[in-house]
Structure 1
């Protein structure tokens, strides 16, 4: 069964205000209204969607997910939120979410994808496109923009927002809040952020604090259920293929005796995308090679699938907030 943090449910109910019976709504979702807000307390995703759909029968929910996204604060996400704030750039912040979202939910995965105009921060959520899921997706996209505004040293708006479901009667409120065009009936759920905004230094970026928080998050991640053998085998295959450049999902799937479709589905079942798995493998391999002085930085770049050392340096800084050279110096 898929679960989401009760924090989102509480935020939705709070945003609805006195127009609904807040206590009864929370109790029906299995949440004690008098208990402290604990983001680690999870509720079934189906229960969450049903709660939202029940609220939609009582009030106009068109603006609700935007209000909820706007209300989210970095500190409410615990160590993950602090890691977002402490990351050196917005790109690094988004990379933290892409990597550690599994600590918060097994419903959603995130993907960073290059785009001619910037970087797409993509939300992947499985399931029937019922009203509750659609409202949740909108709130999640709004949350990403709200958290970005909290760390950006200058006013921040994305270039565009894309939503898979059909648009409401009017999207004027959405576009006014996001500060950019919002395209409904798209082929993905995503926020498009400019290269300039992604590479701009965060207000509270701190490399040392960032590394400390990430080590904590890595330990939490390690406590999760061990990776199934298929995923472990896939990581080994990716690592072996990297010296020939970035591997193709179809090639890795074929080596595992799977079709690309089946491989994608099985990764999704474990809250992963092929790109996320490849990035994770590259990072882990790079860290291991950098701890061995026999490999030059150029060789490490080559062995992790980069054609240029400069590209490797940029990627490594995005992963860990420091350069490969500084990382090696601190560990040898």
Structure 2
């Protein structure tokens, strides 16, 4: 059940948090993501804090590599069902503090853009049943791996948020029935229908009235204000700048960050790219510095990544060049910045948490 390369969406981005969800799932299966995607790219994705976006086509290609390596066509479904709230960023905290699952569905639709350009969820009530659809927003055919991941995640989160592990859903999938449906039976628990017009979950309307366990009204106001701020930032930043930052983030480690490289990736001439950036009051070097600084600050929070490795991941051939650039950006050396981050966190480096796998 692979995706035709010609069918991959030419545009569109997704939050790097979702990519990290896939990486974490692979680790629970004993698979080293470095072997599939390369140590440099994995380090970049692990270091992200959720504000970065990667091309949607790259994320789909990551699934294809994982499926081929594990020989498991249902891997995206299992990865989606194993997500943790940390893989949703601020949106996860918004959902945790809703009053009911009905409000969860509404807030998911409101803030889904924080997780990328991945389609709009829609809850349609038909009699005593809710049809919770996932709509693919591109002209190309919807990728089966993305549908699996999205519905698997929603099935799991509805159970987790309501503290009702017994919730069951009928699942409608737009792709052909696979040979082995055992994972689908485990994740959804209800009737399975393949080859349908839309991918969706169908369940009783009573589910929408179930309360969210452990919601906190005070925390809710704080996290929703943050989500609104992030949404406004995404809406206010020109598409060209977002696309350029995505291209630069992807190419830092391989050193392909010259103006001509990025212009070619955006199907523009170097002069056209420069002119459009100038119209936004930006320069190519300023944007490159911003991406490098943001990436460096994230990597410096991980004590397992050396300064030499960080210099390499930023595309520098010499550690001294990275050192001088970072001091220019922050007026601090990378070492001092790292020590201050650890001190602010209580004197201990942040530890990466791995959660137990839910579905095999």
Distance in 1, matches of 2:237 and 2:122, equals 19
Equivalent residue for 1:135, pick from 140, 145, 170: 145
Distance in 1, matches of 2:45 and 2:81, equals 24
Q: Does 1:104 align with 2:140?
A: no
Distance in 2, matches of 1:26 and 1:182, equals 33
Distance in 1, matches of 2:217 and 2:22, equals 34
Q: Does 1:221 align with 2:258?
A: no
Q: Structure 1, residues 290-323: CA drift from partner, whole Å, max 9, x if none?
A: xxxxxxxxxxxxxxxxxxxxxxxxxxxxxxxxxx
Match of 2:351 in 1: none
Number of equivalenced pairs: 226
Query: 1:117-128 residue pairs with structure 2 within 5 A?
Result: 117-125=128-136, 126-128=138-140
Query: 1:142-221 residue pairs with structure 2 within 5 A?
Result: 142-221=152-231
In 2, are the aligned partners of 1:98 and 1:110 still within 8 Å (CA)?
A: yes
Distance in 2, matches of 1:160 and 1:177, equals 10
Under a length normalisation based on structure 2, what TM-score does the superposition of the two structures give?
Answer: 0.57
Match of 1:261 in 2: none
Q: List structure 1 segments (4+ residues) > 4 angstroms apart after TM superposition.
A: 17-21
Distance in 1, matches of 2:46 and 2:74, equals 27
Q: Structure 1, residues 17-63: CA drift from partner, whole Å, max 9, x if none?
A: 46755203233894426843533222111111222222333332223
Match of 2:100 in 1: 89
Equivalent residue for 2:127, pick from 113, 116, 123: 116
Q: Structure 1, residues 186-220: CA drift from partner, whole Å, max 9, x if none?
A: 11111123221110111122344323322322222
In 1, are the aligned partners of 2:173 and 2:198 still within 8 Å (CA)?
A: yes
Q: Name the SS of the counterpart of 1:128 in structure 2.
A: coil
Q: Name the SS of the counterpart of 2:202 in structure 1.
A: strand
Equivalent residue for 2:17, pick from 7, 11, 14: 7
Distance in 1, matches of 2:77 and 2:36, equals 20
Which runs of no fewer than 5 residues in structure 1 stay unpaired? 229-332
Q: Name the SS of the counterpart of 2:140 in structure 1.
A: coil
Query: 1:32-43 residue pairs with structure 2 within 5 A?
Result: 32=43, 35-43=46-54
In 2, are the aligned partners of 1:29 and 1:47 still within 8 Å (CA)?
A: no
Query: 1:287-306 residue pairs with structure 2 within 5 A?
Result: none
Under a length normalisation based on structure 1, what TM-score does the superposition of the two structures give?
Answer: 0.61
Which runs of no fewer than 5 residues in structure 2 stay unpaired? 1-10, 239-360
Q: Structure 1, residues 266-288: CA drift from partner, whole Å, max 9, x if none?
A: xxxxxxxxxxxxxxxxxxxxxxx
In 1, are the aligned partners of 2:20 and 2:46 still within 8 Å (CA)?
A: no
Distance in 1, matches of 2:178 and 2:39, equals 27
Distance in 2, matches of 1:158 and 1:118, equals 12
In 1, are the aligned partners of 2:14 and 2:54 still within 8 Å (CA)?
A: yes
Please provide the CA RMSD for this pair.
2.7
145-154 or 52-61, which moves further after superposition?
A: 52-61
Q: Name the SS of the counterpart of 2:123 in structure 1.
A: strand
Q: Structure 1, residues 90-118: CA drift from partner, whole Å, max 9, x if none?
A: 11111111110012111322112112232
Q: Name the SS of the counterpart of 1:32 in structure 2.
A: helix
Match of 2:83 in 1: 72
Equivalent residue for 1:23, pick from 34, 50, 74: 34
Q: Name the SS of the counterpart of 1:120 in structure 2.
A: strand
